[in-house]
Each structure stands twice: as structure tokens, then as C-alpha cells.
Amino acid sequence: MNIHEYQGKELFASYGIDIGPQVVARTPQEAKAAQEKMGGTVVIKAQVLVGGRGKAGGVKVAKTAQEAEQKAKEILDLTIKGLKVEKVLVVPAADIKKEYYLGLTLDRFNKKLILMMSASGGVDIEELAVTKPEEIIKFPIDASVGIDKDGLDKALTQVFEKPELISQARDVIQTMYKMYLEKECSLVEINPYGYLANGKLQALDAKVNFDDNALFKNPEVEAMRNPEENSADEITAREAGLSFVSMDGDIGCIVNGAGLAMATMDIIKLFGGEPANFLDVGGSSNPNKVVSAIKIIMNNPKVRGILINIFGGITRCDDIANGLLMATKQVDITVPLVVRLIGTNDKEGREILQKAGIEARTDLNEAVKAIVAAR
Amino acid sequence: MSILIDENTNVLVQGITGRDGSFHARTMIGDGTKIVAGVTPGKGGQKMDEVPVYNSVPEAMKAHKIDVSVIFVPAPYAAAAIKEAADAGVPLIICITEGVPVNEVLVMYHYVKSKGLRMIGPNCPGLISPGKSKIGIMPAKIHLQGNIGVISRSGTLTYEVVHALTTNGMGQSTCVGIGGDPIVGSGFIDLLDLFNQDANTAGVVMIGEIGGEDEEAAAAWIKANMKKPVVGFISGRTAPPGKRMGHAGAIISGGKGTPEAKVKALEEAGVRVANTPSEIPGLLKKKLG
């Protein structure tokens, strides 16, 4: 799960990390009022859950209240990578002497947490990793042991020149680590981590992601969820217990299992089609899940065909067939439908569908070719 | 032969009285697996069908020789169950449970390793040596005893591949689902190594997916060490970056985990990567000569 910059900074502040003043504005008027309260030059930043907002015109500087109102209006009118900007963050323009980078995440390959630091902050870290990898200092942390303090001090001297900066950064890193574990994060990033004219280091941005598997442990984290992170269909799907991701194509897919669902999408593309979605009905055999899945897919006006691909294991093909029949009674399926059933109780499932006039196939490639041709 | 499990493997089921645990314990017994004991705290002394239930893993270990423990307990308690099995010294711990917090798995990964034990999963279908033993949730009947090893990050996609192998007369020595989470107990390399040493495995199918760098690392390992032919498949070639495709580990982020990089690395290591599961038996036959 992803949260906005302002939410991440609020979380930082609750842990005692200096974030400076900030005001969230939903209207140009609120942005104007925020500038009037802060005085001086402000920075207005779009709050969207995708990267690259700067390049998209989502970050602007305003010197006066009128300018703040105007610039906020321009940003609130933007749609960045398909997401409408609903909120902006207003902060005083800081007098920044230098921008650093701090990031803490999971190193899947080495099975450790990894702290990344750079004296070349402010830029996209992925870009920096490609262009100047030597400017990123990496420091592994074994979560069962904790931070190696001497090692960290050594790493810090490679990034921060002055002792007073090292001591500030050390405290912030300890805090980031504490927050990462307590809130079950998958990424905690401060970029830029600004060295201000007053000698202080301040978190000028925040990017925080959480482990979806651990949300049950922290209801206060779940409460920060932004509905706009997911499409309306994705939200409906989650409520129905389905794993669903919207795509741009026109063939709706219903599959059991994430790996097979991805492979089914890939094969659709291989045979000249475009998938409209990823949908994993999961391992259970609840027929209602099929009904919900059909409803969500038929709700997408782009869909010109539906492919159901089930390899029965725990999932029973007869349950899927019954779910499909229930769905046809509740939803008008106006597009071609191809069903492929194999595995547990496939014979029974096939018979159920046959009585209702639906032919179920057994071969995956043939089923995909059929739906690509039929749409 | 086979790897990790065979007809003599004694199995303990943690969470045996639960909905999933009891269902799959019965199915495994029906498929010929030697389930010798179960554990559910507070239900010691009961029986699940003919299987004695104990309060703890050490109690079960006292009464039986245990080679493998398979875990079906719910996600919030799964890490504790892994730790209990590791503390008791169960040599192979298989965690089927889905949705275990990643930080907890990370700690367990190192914990199990530090005790010299092996973990498979979490969020995996388990493993099967066809005709000998099945410890997991896959349908046994689609398998055929033979000499092809299968390693996969996915569940039902593995069934698809196994089905293709079986219908082409290519049986399997052992099929292992390693799990779809960011951190899993055993990776591709651990199992490639075992298949490489197994006299009865002639070739290996490796089923990867987007996310992480494990397939790339496996490719490098294959190039340097593998004596047997390997055919690959990578799912998620159409997946958009930044979106989690069901599995917690199946996400392209930070420019890492792209399908192109994985296919390229594998092809460079001499692994033929199939476009569809149905191509796998043909590619493998060609390699086996």
C-alpha cells in the first residue's frame, strides 16, 4: 500500500523527524490561505500516488498569495498518469544548501534490509543508480540483529561531510528503521533530505510503502489508505475477495491463481489480443466469487470478450460452472465468452455448462485463440 | 530417486484440525503420503481421523520420527509455527500459508538457516515426488512419475506445466513450488543444486515470474554449474510496472524484476524460455536429445 507525501511526512513527524511546516489544500483558496499564513515564497506540490509529478508540472513555486491561488488551481486541474490531482501540499520554500538522499527497503536478493544514502539527492534515485551508481552508498541491515552502529558511522562519513550532519542523519536513520519495523513498511524514503541554511537537515519529501501482508497488524496504517490508489473496479474486487488489476485491453480474464492469471494474459497478447484485466479468483470454490468477477468485468465498457481459465486444484470446476450459471442469471453477458476448464471435477463442470448451452474447452492455447477471434 | 521427499518421508501437519489443514491432510493421506502426526495447540490427545494430534511440535517429535513439517496455520501465527518447528529441529519445514508479513518471514529465513534446516515457502503449493509422497495442495492425479524436475514460484501455473509434461509422457522426479512472496525459504538455486545432484533427474523446468532478481541469479548459477538441460517460462510479460499481480513478490518496481531482463539472462545461460506452457515439453525433448 502506498500513501501520499503529506501522509508520509505526518508519519515522520509523529516519530520526531523534522519535516517543517506543511498545509494540505484541496482548493486554490485553501492554498492561498496557506501562503498568507506562512508568508514568503511557497512550494505547491501535487499529491498523487505516482512518480514523475515534477516533469508533469505538478510542482510549482509561488511568491504571493495570488500566485499561490493561481498555481494551485493549475495543479489541481492536472491529471498525472491517469490520476486526477485532488490535493496539493503547500510548504515554505526552504533555503536549501544541499540535497541528500535516504532510503530504506528490502533487499530481496540478499535477504536483508538495505539503507541507501547519497549526497546527490533530489534526483530520481533509479536514474542515479544507472548513471552514477558509485554515488549511492549501500548499508545492509540484518533485521534479526539490528543496525551495526560502528558500520553505520563509517558509512555516514562517506555521505555527510560535517560531524553535526552525521549526528542528525544517524538519529533520523535509527528512527526510519524503527518506523519501518513498527509500521511494517516495504519502503521508507526521504528525497530530498535537505541541508538547510540554518544548519538543520529536514525531510523535504516522503515516500512510504507498506507490506500488504502486514496491514492487519496496524489498523492505523490501513486507515491511511487512499481509494484513488486503485480503480473503482479494483476496490469492488478487493471487497469481493478477488485479486484484480485493471489493464488497457478488451479481453476480460477470470483465472484461478496469480501465476496462471499472468500467463493467461501473456498468451492472449502472444496470440494478438490485449487483456482488459488481471483477475485471480483465488483458491476457494465459492461460486459467488465468479458472480462478482463477471459483474466487475462487464462493468468495463471496453470489454469485448471474456475468457475464463480454470485449472482445478483446490478450486473445483463444478463450483466455477455453477458460479458462472448464477452470474448469467444476474448479469446480461453481452460479449463472447470462452470457458476453459481442466483439473478437479472438470467433467462435472463441463456437463453443468453444456446443459446451459455453454461449451467448455480443455486446451488453453485453443481457448485463447477462440476469444481473440471472437471479439 | 527424487529430491527432498520420497515414500519413506514421515510428515507432521501443523494446524491439522483447521479447515485447510484437515482437508489437505486427508487428501495427502489419500494420495499415499505418510502423515504420522498433527499439531494444534490445545487439542493434544485428539485424533484427526487416524492421525494423533499433539499440543506442540516437540511433543509430536517425542512420539514420532518426523522428517518434514507442513504448516497450514493462519498468517498471523505462521511465523511462530515456523519457529516452533525450527526450534524442534524438523529438517524440512514447508509453509503453505499465504499472506505472512514479509518482515516476519525475513527473520524466519535467517533463523531456520542458522539452525542448519531447510524451509520452503511461505505462500507455496508445497512439493510432490509423484508416486512417492505429496506434501502440499497440488492435485496428485495430474502428475506422473519420471525424471523431470520442476521448480516454480506459482501454483496453478505449475499444474498447467505439469499437465503439459504428463500428457506428453514426460514424468516428474519432484515438483517444488517455492512460493510467490518477496522472501521465501528456498530459491531456484537451492533446488537447481539438488536436481543437479539427483541421479534420477534428467532435466529441469524452471517457472519464474516478474519481480525480484532471483531468475537472473539462477541463470548465472546455471551457466556456471548446471550439468542438466533447463527449460524456462516467465509469467507476467504483460504486467504493468508498479502493480502487484496477486503474488506479493510479483511486482516490477525500481526498474527491477522486468520479464525482459529475466528472459535475456536465462537465454544467455543456455536456458530455452518457452512462450507458452504447451511449448515446454517440446523444448525439453529437444534438449534431452
Domains annotated for chain B, with CATH where assigned, are 10-120 (3.40.50.720), 143-288 (3.40.50.261)
Q: Residue A223's CB: how many other CB atoms inside 10 A?
A: 7
- Between CA A124 and CA A132 the distance in angstroms is 11
Q: What distance in Å separates residue B215's CA from the closest CA in chain A?
A: 10
Query: What is the predicted pLDDT for the residue at B97?
Result: 94
Contacts of A364 in chain B (CB under 8 A): 160, 276-278
Which one of B24, B238, B251, B252 makes the best mutation probe of the A interface by having the most chain A beta carbons within 10 Å?
A: B238
B142 touches chain A (CB under 8 A): yes
Write out the H or E segment, with its range, that includes residue A32: helix A28-38
**Are the Cβ atoms of B139 and A111 closer than 8 angstroms?**
no
**Confidence class for position B115, pLDDT limits 50, 70, 90:** very high
The cell numbers describing A71, all together, are 498555481
DSSP string, B245-269: -SSTT---BTTBS-HHHHHHHHHHT
Query: What is the predicted pLDDT for the residue at A284?
Result: 66
Q: What distance in Å separates residue A211's CA from the closest CA in chain B?
A: 7
- Between CA B126 and CA B94 the distance in angstroms is 7
- Sign of torsion over alpha carbons B131, B134, B139, B144: negative
Write out the H or E segment, with its range, that includes residue A341: strand A337-343
Query: B232: left (phi > 0), else alpha (psi -120 to 50), else beta?
Result: beta
**Are the Cβ atoms of A263 and B107 closer than 8 angstroms?**
no
**Are the Cβ atoms of B155 and A184 closer than 8 angstroms?**
no
pLDDT digits (tens, 9 = 90+) for B200-249: 999 999 999 999 999 999 999 999 999 999 999 999 999 988 888 888 78
Partner-chain residue, chosen from A106, A245, A344, that has the shortest CB–CB distance to B182:
A106
The answer, yes or no, to whether residue B31 has pLDDT greater than 90, is yes
Contacts of B137 in chain A (CB under 8 A): 283, 313-314
pTM, 2 dp: 0.92
Of residues B47 and A83, which shows the higher confidence score? B47
**Are the Cβ atoms of B155 and A283 closer than 8 angstroms?**
yes
Contacts of A311 in chain B (CB under 8 A): 156, 159-160, 163
Query: What is the predicted pLDDT for the residue at A285?
Result: 65
| DSSP state at residue A150 | H
Helical spans, DSSP H, in A183-247: 219-222, 232-239
Query: What is the predicted pLDDT for the residue at A3?
Result: 96
B247 catalytic? Reply is: yes
A130 touches chain B (CB under 8 A): yes
A280 touches chain B (CB under 8 A): yes
- Give me the amino acid identity at B157: L
- Between CA B209 and CA B121 the distance in angstroms is 16
Q: Average pLDDT for residues B145-164, to the nearest whole number?
A: 96
Contacts of A267 in chain B (CB under 8 A): 275-276
Query: What is the predicted pLDDT for the residue at B173?
Result: 98
Instruction: Give the mean pLDDT of chain A.
Output: 93
Q: Average pLDDT for residues A316-327, to the nearest whole number?
A: 93
The answer, yes or no, to whether residue A16 has pLDDT greater than 70, is yes
Partner-chain residue, chosen from B101, B155, B242, that has the shortest CB–CB distance to A257:
B155
**Confidence class for position A15, pLDDT limits 50, 70, 90:** very high
**Are the Cβ atoms of B182 and A111 closer than 8 angstroms?**
no
B134 touches chain A (CB under 8 A): no
- Between CA B196 and CA B205 the distance in angstroms is 12
Q: How many interface pairs between A and B have CB atoms less than 8 angstroms apart? A: 167
A184 touches chain B (CB under 8 A): yes
pLDDT digits (tens, 9 = 90+) for B70-85: 999 999 999 999 999 9
A181 touches chain B (CB under 8 A): yes
Query: What is the predicted pLDDT for the residue at A67?
Result: 96
| DSSP state at residue B240 | P
| DSSP state at residue A2 | B
Q: Pairing state of beta strands B68-71 and B51-54?
A: unpaired
Q: Average pLDDT for residues A337-360, to the nearest whole number?
A: 94
Name the residue of chain A whose CA is nearest to B140's CA. A313
Which one of A221, A250, A253, A260 makes the best mutation probe of the B interface by having the most chain B beta carbons within 10 Å?
A: A260
**Confidence class for position A124, pLDDT limits 50, 70, 90:** confident
Which one of A278, A280, A315, A369 makes the best mutation probe of the B interface by having the most chain B beta carbons within 10 Å?
A: A278
Contact present, B269 and B229 (Cβ < 8 Å)? no
B181 touches chain A (CB under 8 A): yes
- Between CA B218 and CA B220 the distance in angstroms is 5
Q: Between residues 286 and 315 of chain A, which touch chain B (CB distance below 8 Å)? A: 311-315
Query: What is the predicted pLDDT for the residue at A130?
Result: 82
- Between CA A320 and CA A308 the distance in angstroms is 9
Give the rounded distance of the alpha carbon of B10 from its chain centre: 17
Q: Average pLDDT for residues B161-165, to the nearest whole number?
A: 97
**Are the Cβ atoms of A214 and B157 closer than 8 angstroms?**
no
pLDDT digits (tens, 9 = 90+) for A354-364: 999 999 999 99
Share above pLDDT 70 across residues of chain B, in percent, rounded to a whole number = 100
Residue in the block written with cell 517425542: B62
Q: Average pLDDT for residues B245-258, to the nearest whole number?
A: 83
